[in-house]
Structure 1
Amino acid sequence: MTRATDTVGEPPYLRIVAEIRRRIADGELAPGDRVPSTRQIAGEWGVALATATKALTTLRLGGLVETRPRIGTVVAGTAPAAPARRRPSPVPEPEQELSLDRIVRTATEIADAEGLSALSMRGVAARLGVAAMSTYRYVPSKEDLVLHMADAAFGEQSYPADAPEDWRTRIELGARTLWSLYRKHPWLAQLGSLTRPLLVPNLMVHGEWMLGALDGHGLDPTTLFDMHVLLYSHVHGLAGHLEMEAHAAASTGQSEDQWMDSRAPALQGLVESGRFPAFAKVVGSFTDGYDLNLDALFEFGLKALLDGLTSLIEGQEAVA
């Protein structure tokens, strides 16, 4: 990640302006090309959204970029015209090629890059270069669009036809597959909950795989489904922090480590208060600090869960 590290007397936004100016001068960004959004700038340079906005405003006032209706902020100037082609229909080319699949892919790109909160029907239409109402011919609302996006995202990975015989190996494959999808699309974890689950076919494919692994071991239906929900909650619950951290980093301009460093005095105060001896003992034993790694925590939790479930599953097999 690029960092907008201050030099003496140079605000971070000017470093961002200089870099985007260089990309334009070198031809990396041509006239008409979209420039990074405020959230993309915040993520790439590690600055607050306000700093990113100030950088884009400076570029706009300098005539380097401009805002175009239904498109967004682009490099100023006219892009080279594409060769003219005859069309049997007067409908503009982008709308002629519009489809539900294209709308879903574009919306997913926006959510992956900028978060689900940045998604709107109008924004998708602008990215596609079509009229604002065109997308409604394919999907009636943002809520329906998000369901299509989730179904498509969960459908990006499937399972082998010849499933492993060992139930634990099968569960590990299912959990890691789901985790990788949440890693790729962090916004997925913001949808649904255990009490109000997301009912889309391709998520059911993952559920079917996990239930199939747990079935056939003598478990009663309630216990079997409880195990399935518990395993899913481990993956979904940890994944919820992926998007939260991305949003926090973009809005504060601080990485996870930088944020913790800024809270060092408060943490030290808790340790030295004498009120939390166990906490002070554990935290004080870290020579290089505690590294909260979500991937490692996912694997640690998965192993702990499966170790605990082994006695229940294989114990029922022994009884049966």
Structure 2
Amino acid sequence: MSETPESDAAELELPRAIALAWGIAANPQRGPKREMSVERIVEAAIEVADADGLAAVSMSAVAARLGFTPMSLYRYVTAKDDLLLLMQEEAVGLPSEASRTAGDWRAQLTALYDGQVARYVRHPWVLDIPITGSPVTPNSAAWMDAGLHALADTPLSHEERLSVMLLVTGLARWTGIVFAGYARTQREADVTAAELTAREDALFRALVTEDAYPHLAAAIAAGVFLDDGDPFRFGVERALDGVAAYIASAPHPAAPPSAAERDDDSALLADKRYREAQKAVRQAERALRDARKAARAVAREARERLRRQN
């Protein structure tokens, strides 16, 4: 019988926040009141952050919101960094069902992107938490799994799928940073989105001259800063175009083997020459990917030379 993830994790010395996120941490024996819990502490901390930003979150602020003393919180969450991780885990939540059912890999990744941007706009303080590595928490794992699920039927390697997933989540984070910043400015200035963009457009027109910034001036004259569409959608679509082109050029996997073929394969694996042939195939596929990568690099250099010549 295989061990469960919980039994495997129990053998590790997990940081308390990670153990709490996975629901395998020991609860305190007694607390100040029955209504105190890790979940309630995290909920109150998120309320503080949503209202006043991440800088306003402290053990004392959260305790005051709950009506307890700061020391009582430490029985449940032993450090502020642990609290921040649990807040992030709760705020990002789980990916939508559309990220797995929206259609092909591209539609699923687009749904994943949209879902992450929406989370960042709803809880912008999440973007202020420093990135120190991949959060090993259930919800973060679910987002990663959803991105890899979208690419599971493509010929991309596991490493390439992870890279594509990171590309999409990185674009979502950047979009979230800008959208959240604009939303904050709107609230502080008490203006609508249209009023804010009109104000920025007027400033650009007053300060940017055609002599000093000819290309930017032309874009301003064309009204790019008055466009009420999503300025990031085009870039996301073009990034996915690049992934699609790469997938089209990648070696396609063979159809899944039948039960009889799998039995034959098991017997073949005992043959040394067969194993060597399979190894040669893998090396050739790796060499082909490296060659294509080198060809793309040479093409970029050639285009750059042509631009300099012109």
Q: Determine the structure 2 residue equivalent to 1:268.
A: 205
Report the residue type matching 1:283 in the other structure: I
- CA contact 2:94–2:142 (8 Å) conserved in 1: no
Q: 1:304 Cα shift? A: 2.2
Q: Give 1:188-227 correspondences, 5 Å limit.
A: 188-193=126-131, 196-227=133-164
2: CA distance between counterparts of 1:304 and 1:239? 18
- CA contact 1:153–1:181 (8 Å) conserved in 2: yes
Q: Determine the structure 1 residue equivalent to 2:243.
A: 309
Alignment of 1:297 with 2:235, yes or no, is no
1: CA distance between counterparts of 2:247 and 2:71? 54
- CA contact 1:150–1:188 (8 Å) conserved in 2: yes
Q: Determine the structure 2 residue equivalent to 1:51.
A: none
2: CA distance between counterparts of 1:275 and 1:203? 46
Q: Give 1:137-216 correspondences, 5 Å limit.
A: 137-159=75-97, 163=101, 166-193=104-131, 196-216=133-153
Q: 1:278 Cα shift? A: 1.3
Report the residue type matching 1:223 in the other structure: E
- Per-residue CA deviations over 1:174-209 (Å, capped at 9, x if unaligned) read 22222222222112222344x734443211201111
1: CA distance between counterparts of 2:39 and 2:80? 15
- CA contact 1:154–1:202 (8 Å) conserved in 2: yes
Q: 1:147 Cα shift? A: 0.6
2: CA distance between counterparts of 1:155 and 1:130? 27
Q: Determine the structure 2 residue equivalent to 1:132.
A: 70
> Residues 160 and 252 from structure 1, CA distance in 2 versus in 1: closer, same or farther, beyond 3 angstroms?
closer
> Residues 147 and 266 from structure 1, CA distance in 2 versus in 1: closer, same or farther, beyond 3 angstroms?
same
Q: Give 1:226-241 correspondences, 5 Å limit.
A: 226-241=163-178
Report the residue type matching 2:178 in the other structure: H
- Higher-helix-fraction structure: 2
3-state SS in 2 of match to 1:274 = coil
3-state SS in 2 of match to 1:222 = helix
- CA contact 2:77–2:83 (8 Å) conserved in 1: yes
TM-score (norm 2): 0.61
Number of residue-to-residue matches in the alignment: 224
- Per-residue CA deviations over 1:63-84 (Å, capped at 9, x if unaligned) read xxxxxxxxxxxxxxxxxxxxxx
- CA contact 2:98–2:111 (8 Å) conserved in 1: no
Report the residue type matching 2:233 in the other structure: E
TM-score (norm 1): 0.60
What is the root-mean-square deviation in Å for CA atoms of aligned residues?
A: 3.2
Name stretches of at least 5 consecutive residues in structure 2 with no aligned partner. Answer: 1-30, 255-310
- CA contact 1:110–1:119 (8 Å) conserved in 2: yes
**After alignment, is 296-305 or 261-270 more displaced?**
261-270
- After TM superposition, the runs of 4+ consecutive aligned structure 1 residues lying more than 4 A away are 160-165, 246-266, 317-320
Q: Determine the structure 2 residue equivalent to 1:277.
A: 214
1: CA distance between counterparts of 2:157 and 2:65? 50
> Higher relative contact order at CA 8 Å, sep ≥6: structure 1 or structure 2?
1
> Residues 152 and 237 from structure 1, CA distance in 2 versus in 1: closer, same or farther, beyond 3 angstroms?
same
Q: Give 1:17-32 correspondences, 5 Å limit.
A: none
2: CA distance between counterparts of 1:300 and 1:178? 17
Report the residue type matching 1:290 in the other structure: L
Q: Determine the structure 1 residue equivalent to 2:264.
A: none
- CA contact 2:50–2:123 (8 Å) conserved in 1: yes
Query: Equivalent of 1:110, from 48, 70, 80?
Result: 48
1: CA distance between counterparts of 2:169 and 2:84? 20
Report the residue type matching 2:159 in the other structure: T
Q: 1:244 Cα shift? A: 3.2
Q: 1:290 Cα shift? A: 1.9
Q: Determine the structure 2 residue equivalent to 1:32.
A: none
> Residues 141 and 279 from structure 1, CA distance in 2 versus in 1: closer, same or farther, beyond 3 angstroms?
same
Q: Determine the structure 2 residue equivalent to 1:25.
A: none
3-state SS in 2 of match to 1:275 = coil
2: CA distance between counterparts of 1:243 and 1:162? 26
How many percent identity over aligned positions? 29
> Residues 191 and 157 from structure 1, CA distance in 2 versus in 1: closer, same or farther, beyond 3 angstroms?
same
- CA contact 1:111–1:118 (8 Å) conserved in 2: yes
